[in-house]
Amino acid sequence: MGWHSFWGHFCTITRHRHTVMRHCRRAGIFWQGLRHDLSKYSPTEFWQGVRYYQDGKRSPNEAEREALGYSLAWMHHKGRNRHHFEYWSDYNPRTKQLEPVEMPVRFLAEMFCDRVAASKIYMKDAYDQTCPLAYFQKSTSRKRGLLHANTERELMRLLTLLAEQGEDAAFAELRRMVAEDRKKRKGVIVMFCQNCGKKIEGGDLFCPFCGAKQQQVNPSENGGASFPAGSQKLTRKGLGIAVICVLIVIVLALVLIGSLCTGGPKQVVKEYYQAIEKCDAKKLLDTVPKDYLKEVMDEKDLTKRELLKEVQAYLDKYYSGYDDIKVSITDQEKLDQDDFSDYFDFDLEEDADLEIKKAVQFDLKVRYQSDEGKQTEKEEFIVFRYENGWYSMDAVFLVAMSAYL
């Protein structure tokens, strides 16, 4: 295990990650692309990858299995990355067996992106658009029934579409599937199990966690909302009063939000680079949507203080050598929704969609002082509007790297 293996493995997994990110952008799940395979940089996975590096020709996991009979890196990886079908298996209380679970559409889409990217990285010049399908057809996992039947059928359909019609057709179909799934999930009624208290969907007859039978509720005539049996219907007068109250609350909320929201796009550029220069984690987090910060904290089981500490440590490690940063804007381009509907349609979790409606791309000239003297770099910097504020894409990515590495 030497420098060749270290650098070679790092470059291989990074090239793969960047390829998946580009694919995910085309599939309409760019946010998943940003988070894709970050666990590969964790010590458990990274150092095993270096130890069993195969010159970028095949996965180090295979070599580790040959040496040990199992892959510690893979077991760590599959339990943290939902784009692998191996993640989606559970004990069936009826059959008393471990069985595959159908993958949600957005993770099926990421799995497709991952498989295509892996074929490109490992096969290099020998790759063509039929390779991912050929590899899947030879898969022993498929033959042994380790994928849910619906997941297998959809993946086979998408890989066949890629092989026969090319990437444009395959990614167009993925975007359609993801958009349709997102609309469906927005209409899902969320309930909590009356026995164990865990979150379940409103249509579940039995809790998927504890198996307890659920008391069913009937959808009302207004928007599909559900009310327990015996609840009172609103009278016309009561409904009118409720509507007025809601409107008042909305107006007050808009006034409050308007007074608190971040500045314009150029102000975000300024605030981001000020945070970088001063290694100020708190200021940096101000340029990231609170919804996303909450998502990161929930997924990584972090408090706000712990997340702040992670980001601060990352800044201190990688940015402490940058001083006297001066930024000038050389050009800018407004991105309308058609330009970036695939690029910025973030899908966070089951109940939170971060949908971006506007964005601006700035071309920057960044001057700074480092240990190597005065430096000048040209950078592209994207600022996006979410709800009532403008935020930095670079800051979002930096928080992801801080929390997931």
Q: For each of the domains in the chain, give its residue range(s) and CATH number, in order of start.
A: 3-184 (no CATH), 265-404 (3.10.450.100)
Instruction: Indicate the pTM of the whole model.
Output: 0.54
pLDDT at 234 (0 to 100): 43
Tell me how far CA of residue 48 lies from CA of 38, 53, 59, 305, in angstroms: 15, 8, 11, 32
| Integer Cα distance of 379 and 362 in angstroms | 8
Q: Please count the residues of the chain.
A: 405
Helix (H, G, I), strand (E, B) or coil at 94: coil
pLDDT at 219 (0 to 100): 45
362 membership: H or E segment, kind and range: strand 358-370
How much helix, strand and coil, in percent to the nearest 5, is found in the chain? Answer: 55, 20, 30
CB under 8 Å to 122, separation ≥6 — which residues? 56, 57, 58, 59
pLDDT at 145 (0 to 100): 77
CB under 8 Å to 199, separation ≥6 — which residues? 190, 191, 192, 193
- The segments of the chain whose pLDDT lies below 50 read 219-234, 255-262, 341-353
Q: By C-alpha distance, which of 207, 30, 57, 180 is closest to 126?
A: 57
Q: Residue 8 in contact with residue 2, Cβ under 8 Å?
A: no
pLDDT at 391 (0 to 100): 92
CB under 8 Å to 366, separation ≥6 — which residues? 273, 325, 326, 327, 376, 377, 378, 379
The token duo for 23 is 């694919």
* pLDDT tens digit sequence for 151-177: 999 999 999 999 999 999 999 999 999
Q: Which residue's entry shows tokens 């050009």?
A: 331
